[in-house]
């Protein structure tokens, strides 16, 4: 090879070595778009008999993995070992803590053994407030509650969801604070979740207050 050819090779090698190393890892973001769930508050249809969330398992198992700040529940929330203020209803938190981890069982309502969403709400309301609410989540909203603005949610209010894709109320939970609520998840049993989590924001139907608590 000629001297000119060698110089060209050396020059090409030097240029390649001077190039910056580029990572092959994707920079695509995994965060999801937050959907304003208050826009879904007036969606119609809430009268058919649908105890708890009997068919919610088929939809809930497809929900996306929650991202930071949108549904991740800290250990203290998961156990309800949180610092309560003087205005917090300690009896409510104490009662709900007993229910945490109770397996999901359709049409059941026994703490520690099995419950569906409306069964848990019914028992907690009877124990904490001495109020008997309907056993069915749709009728609970229709006959026992008044719809309120999302911004007016207070500890002990109820949050309702349409999880079956047919526009009918089929799931209910008890609101705590900081967007957190307790409910009987069809896949995880009684647990704490965040209203901003994509699945619950997408299926949110209404915030409501039990009439006897006005």
pLDDT in tens, 26-79: 333 333 333 344 444 444 333 333 334 434 333 333 333 333 333 445 666 767
Tokens, residue 68:
């930071």
Q: How far is CA 180 from CA 82, 129, 163, 190, in A?
A: 12, 20, 18, 13
Distance CA 160, CA 143 (A): 14
Q: What is the CATH number of domain 40-213?
A: 3.90.1720.10
Which pLDDT value is given to residue 25? 33
Which pLDDT value is given to residue 3? 59
For residues 138-159, average pLDDT: 97
pLDDT in tens, 103-129: 999 999 999 999 999 999 999 999 999
Which pLDDT value is given to residue 117? 98
Number of Cα atoms under 13 Å in the Cβ half of residue 88: 13
Distance CA 65, CA 45 (A): 29
Number of Cα atoms under 13 Å in the Cβ half of residue 189: 14
Burial grade of 92 (CB within 10 A; 0-12, 13-18, 19 or more)? buried
Percent of the chain with pLDDT over 70: 64
Per-residue pLDDT band for 151 (boundaries 50, 70, 90) equals very high
For residues 157-161, average pLDDT: 98
Which pLDDT value is given to residue 79? 75
Per-residue pLDDT band for 81 (boundaries 50, 70, 90) equals confident
Q: What pTM did the predictor assign?
A: 0.68
Name the phi and psi angles at 209, rounded to 5.
-120, 130
pLDDT in tens, 180-210: 999 999 999 999 999 999 999 999 999 999 9
How big, in percent rounded to 5, are the helix, strand and coil portions of the chain?
A: 35, 15, 50
Name the phi and psi angles at 206, rounded to 5.
-160, 150
Tokens, residue 62:
């497809």
Q: What is the SS3 assignment for 123?
A: helix
Q: Which residues participate in catalysis according to the annotation?
A: 117, 171, 183
Which pLDDT value is given to residue 44? 39
Name the more confident of 158 and 14.
Answer: 158
Per-residue pLDDT band for 11 (boundaries 50, 70, 90) equals low
């Amino acid at each position: 090879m000629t001297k000119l050819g060698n110089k060209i090779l050396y020059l090409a090698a030097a240029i390649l070595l001077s190039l910056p190393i580029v990572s092959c890892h994707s920079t695509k973001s995994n965060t999801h778009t937050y959907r304003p769930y208050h826009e879904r508050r007036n969606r119609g249809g809430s009268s058919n008999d649908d105890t708890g969330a009997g068919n919610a398992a088929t939809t809930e198992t497809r929900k996306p993995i929650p991202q930071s700040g949108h549904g991740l529940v800290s250990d203290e929330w998961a156990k309800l070992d949180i610092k309560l203020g003087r205005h917090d209803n300690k009896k409510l938190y104490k009662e709900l803590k007993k229910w945490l981890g109770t397996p999901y069982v359709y049409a059941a309502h026994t703490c520690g053994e099995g419950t569906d969403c409306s069964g848990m709400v019914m028992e907690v309301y009877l124990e904490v407030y001495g109020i008997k609410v309907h056993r069915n989540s749709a009728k609970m909203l229709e006959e026992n509650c008044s719809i309120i603005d999302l911004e007016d949610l207070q500890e002990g209010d109820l949050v309702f969801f349409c999880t079956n894709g047919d526009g009918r109320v089929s799931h209910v939970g008890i609101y705590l604070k900081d967007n957190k609520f307790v409910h009987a998840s069809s896949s995880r049993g009684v647990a704490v979740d965040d209203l901003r989590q994509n699945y619950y924001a997408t299926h949110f139907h209404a915030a409501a207050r039990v009439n006897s608590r006005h």
